[in-house]
Amino acid sequence: MSLAPAVIRNAEEEIPILDLASYLAGRPGALEQLAAELRHAFEHIGFYFISGHGVPAALCDRVFAEAARFHALPLAEKLKVKRNEHNVGYLPMKGASTRHSRINPDNKPNLNEAFFVKRDLPHDHPDVIANKRFRCANLWPEGLPGFREAVVAYCDALEALALKLIPIYARALDLPANHFAQAFSVPQYTLRMSHYPPVAVVEENEFGIAPHTDTSFMTLLAQNKIPGLSLRTSRGTWIDAPALDGHFLVNGGDMLRRWTNERFLATPHRVINRSGRERYAIPFFFDCHVDWPIECLSTCISAERPPKFEPFTYASYMAWYQDQNYARDSADGVRIQAY
């Protein structure tokens, strides 16, 4: 297989495609080739597609179906696993507003509902017993046989894929391939199973999810057949992200942007479902250990580019983020994160 770059060369308007097949097969030179392509993607666009990733299409299809099955439950059933302070569980329709973004102020509540899952920790895990922030046991709905098993299998597969991508990031940042190994020895992740109902008329400042950047180091998005996702180019224009069958769309968020001292982009994006059909999405947000100290990388600092951010951790950043982005549930006044 040729190692010729798969990057589409219009850096302002096109999303690159990175083929992982040769790299995952251990072909010499593949890691360095992909590192160059990833560097190009994050310095110009902030998104890229991956092919040849090895995640079975049937597993992705199964989780899309499970998302639809969960969201078809009566509201009363979904509220039994309502989202908690660890960002696990069910977020009701219009239950969150995107408030941290300066791209589009005065956003109305987002026109989506979601179910959040993190690593499936047992109830006797020390972090669960200690009620450590963002390290709780998951909340699982009743009456959906096979749901938990499918979701956990998908999270396991996406975690394994993300860990294989981490050395590419290290080399793209001119670091040894194993530079991030310790930081990601026990990675943090969140699966968001979202439902965007069709919207005939969209009011001003109303979105499926308003323009925002992710919080994550890496977001992996399995492609579905219902359009709606758009991203904002460096020129300030919005372009629709194509849905490439069998690919994952990958982007970086604020964790990556801060870790790289803004060398790598966290590109704003939004969702508006004008398809006339129910739209489901299953983004997987991947991060380092919850307590790992994140400080600007040495290869991203110079006399002309001093550090812009103080050291932080996933836990401290997400606690701050939740305070910035919440709506007040009209039923009980509980603060709900806009994720």
Q: How far apart are CA 238 and CA 269, in angstroms?
A: 8
pLDDT of the residue at 96? 65
Helical axes 57-71 vs 147-172, angle rounded to 10°: 130
pLDDT of the residue at 328? 41
DSSP structural state of residue 72: T
DSSP structural state of residue 78: H
C-alpha of 248 from chain center: 11
| Burial environment of residue 277 by CB neighbours within 10 A (0 to 12, 13 to 18, 19 or more) | middle
For residue 269, the tally of other CB atoms under 10 A from its CB is 23
CATH no. of 17-337: 2.60.120.330
pLDDT of the residue at 320? 81
pLDDT of the residue at 209? 82
Q: How far apart are CA 38 and CA 16, in angstroms?
A: 9
* Backbone phi, psi, residue 308, to 5°: -100, -10
For residue 258, the tally of other CB atoms under 10 A from its CB is 22
Question: What is the DSSP secondary-structure string of 267-332?
Answer: --EEE---SSS-EEE--EEEES-TTPPB---GGG--SSS---S--B-HHHHHHHHHHHSEEE-TTT
What token pair was written down for 298?
Answer: 């040495």
Contacts 24+ apart (CB under 8 A), 33-38: 33/3, 33/5, 34/168, 35/168, 35/171, 35/172, 36/5, 36/172, 37/5, 37/6, 37/7, 38/168, 38/169, 38/172
DSSP structural state of residue 139: P
**Which parts of the chain register pLDDT below 70?**
1-13, 94-108, 201-206, 323-339
Give the pairing of strands 17-19 and 47-51: parallel
DSSP structural state of residue 191: E
pLDDT of the residue at 333? 34
User: Residues, the chain, total?
Assistant: 339
Question: Could you state, in order of their start, the residue ranges of all structural domains in the chain?
Answer: 17-337
pLDDT of the residue at 205? 67
pLDDT of the residue at 235? 84
- pLDDT tens for 2-24 read 333 333 344 556 899 999 999 99
Tell me the C-alpha to C-alpha distance, in Å, between residue 78 and each of 47, 136, 139, 277.
Answer: 33, 19, 10, 21
Q: Which of 71, 15, 335, 55 is nearest to 192 (CA)?
A: 71
For residue 276, the tally of other CB atoms under 10 A from its CB is 10
Give the pairing of strands 47-51 and 89-91: unpaired
Beta bridge partners of 18: 50
Tell me the C-alpha to C-alpha distance, in Å, between residue 106 and each of 100, 210, 215, 233, 236.
Answer: 10, 10, 20, 22, 19
- pLDDT tens for 35-83 read 999 999 999 999 999 999 999 999 999 999 999 999 999 999 999 999 9
